Copies of this chain bind each other. A is one copy, B any other.
């Protein structure tokens, strides 16, 4: 559920032509995902599309036929990790001793994911039009899970009830921005503080 493993293909819907009848299409789709994952690791998610195309040994046109925009490529690369994070929520709720503990662990998972992906947190919150899809995908997938954990913790009387999932997720994402490039900045610590601030007085 955390880093590496770029290879796994997305479910249909990742690219436009996941199940094409043409062999070269399927091959390039996979080649591009692998290349993008590799480039993202070394250069961050803000890496130029041309770099990804070069790494994959294809032209930029090919990248755009498979992924209409750079954001779609980013989504495709990380989709399964986001999904894994989403699925971990209910599991933690069932396994942990308390909803608040589950929330803490789950948030930790999310932060670990974001912090190890160079520039992902920043891209996600970027008001750059092209990245709205990225923002939306993360939020659509994770906000409901967060809401469920929050609700359980509120029901258990462990946290205050004036916090909703959406701003909390955005805030956590925001706190992760720049964590990879500044050793003096400890995002995990601050997120822990924020989650601590949720506790009922």
Kindly specify which of A10-18, A79-87, A144-152, A162-170 makes contact with the partner chain: A162-170
**In the complex, which residues of chain B have a beta carbon less than 8 angstroms from the beta carbon of A198?**
193
Known: A177-B177, A178-B125. A171 touches B190 (CB 8 A): yes
* Chain copies in the assembled complex: 2
Cα distance A168–B185 when bound, in Å? 8
Separation of A164 and B181 alpha carbons in the complex (Å): 18
Contact of A181 among B127, B162, B190, B197 (CB under 8 A): B127
Residue picked from A176, A181, A186, A194, most chain B C-beta under 10 Å? A194
Separation in Å of the A73 CB from the closest CB of chain B? 20
Most buried by B among A174, A189, A190: A174
Residues on B with C-beta less than 8 A from A197 are: 192-197
Chain A interface residue bracket vs B: 20 to 34
Instruction: Give the CA-CA distance A125 to B197 in the complex, in Å.
Output: 24
| Contact pattern, A 132-176, Cβ under 8 Å of B = 1, otherwise 0 | 000000000000000000000000000000110011101100111
Using CB atoms, name the residue of chain B closest to A128.
B46
Chain B residues with CB under 8 Å of A192's CB are 197
Min CB–CB distance A121 → chain B (angstroms): 9
Is A119 positioned at the interface, with any CB of B under 8 Å from its CB? Answer: yes
The 5 closest A-B CB pairs, nearest first, are A197-B197, A193-B197, A171-B190, A196-B197, A174-B174
- Extra pairs beyond A167-B185, A171-B175, A171-B185 (7, CB < 8 Å): A119-B127, A125-B178, A127-B181, A162-B189, A174-B177, A190-B194, A195-B197
Q: Residues on A close to B: CB < 8 A? A: 119, 122, 125-127, 162-163, 166-168, 170-171, 174-178, 181-182, 184-187, 189-190, 192-198
